[in-house]
């Protein structure tokens, strides 16, 4: 456990510092740009469900970026700790950061009199996980973080413009449909697992 925490700390402070800073910077901009005071349910959902999850894409899409160089990947993969386990810890660290940012924004909005609920909190996290996981999977398949970002943004845009994803839509709450985000959360976990599996398989070909 101690070793795992130590590895997570290195991930956050060294290897994934740039995406983390990017996500925090984006998180700080949200109240300044969008206004988070005394919003009703749907307006609050637009912020937590529609805007905040892009931080998830920032955090998770570059999941495999630190070891993109083949020589570096071999060096790390030859260690006793399974690289799949290390990537899993990295993902957990990023999800932890996403959860902290989500809770922080939710509390801030609640303090500003917004009509936020547990559903909003879950929606922000589920969407962030789903978008980021799709980005990670695309980046694992294509070995390119840019392709990963394209996939994540592509899903976001398609859903935003077309409203054809049913209960798997990212924008359920902001469209006034109170369905739980279980499908999105499940999709996110599945995509993240797939991303890790694909990366590991390609590494051990």
Query: CA-CA distance, 30 to 15, in Å (whole number)?
Result: 25
Count of beta carbons in the 10 Å neighbourhood of residue 41: 17
Asked if residue 80 binds another protein (CB under 8 A), the reply is: yes
- Listed residue (118, 111, 92, 97) closest to 55, CA to CA: 97
List the one residue from 28, 38, 107, 197 that touches another protein (CB under 8 A): 38
List the one residue from 24, 77, 185, 198 that touches another protein (CB under 8 A): 77
Indicate the residue among 46 and 99 with the shorter CB distance to another protein: 46
Cα distances from 75 to residues 4, 83, 134, in angstroms, run: 19, 10, 27
List the one residue from 21, 28, 74, 111 that touches another protein (CB under 8 A): 74
Asked if residue 1 binds another protein (CB under 8 A), the reply is: no
DSSP secondary structure code for residue 166 in this structure: G
Asked if residue 205 binds another protein (CB under 8 A), the reply is: yes
Query: Which residue is it, tokens 């976001």?
Result: 156
**Which residues, other chains included, contact 122 with Cβ-Cβ below 8 Å and sequence gap of 6+?**
180, 181, 185
Asked if residue 167 binds another protein (CB under 8 A), the reply is: no
Nearest-approach distance from CB 102 to another protein, in angstroms: 19
Residues that bind another protein (CB under 8 A): 3, 6-7, 10, 14-15, 22, 33-40, 43, 46, 54, 58, 66, 69-72, 74-82, 86, 113, 142, 144-147, 149-151, 153-154, 157-158, 160-162, 164, 203-205
């Amino acid at each position: 456990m101690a070793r795992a925490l130590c590895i997570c700390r290195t991930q956050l402070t060294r290897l994934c510092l740039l995406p983390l800073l990017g996500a925090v910077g984006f998180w700080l901009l949200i109240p300044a740009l969008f206004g988070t005071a005394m919003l009703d349910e749907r307006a609050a959902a637009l912020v937590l469900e529609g805007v905040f999850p892009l931080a998830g894409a920032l955090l998770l899409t570059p999941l495999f970026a630190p070891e993109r160089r083949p020589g570096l990947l071999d060096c790390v993969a030859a260690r006793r700790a399974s690289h799949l386990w290390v990537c899993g810890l990295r993902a957990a660290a990023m999800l932890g950061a996403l959860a902290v940012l989500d809770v922080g924004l939710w509390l801030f909005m609640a303090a500003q009199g917004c009509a936020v609920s547990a559903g909003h909190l879950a929606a922000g996290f589920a969407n962030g996980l789903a978008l980021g996981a799709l980005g990670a999977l695309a980046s694992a398949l294509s070995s390119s973080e840019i392709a990963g970002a394209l996939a994540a943004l592509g899903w976001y845009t398609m859903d935003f413009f077309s409203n054809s994803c049913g209960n798997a839509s990212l924008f359920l709450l902001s469209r006034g449909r109170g369905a739980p985000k279980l499908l999105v959360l499940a999709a996110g976990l599945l995509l993240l697992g797939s991303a890790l599996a694909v990366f590991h398989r390609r590494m051990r070909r």
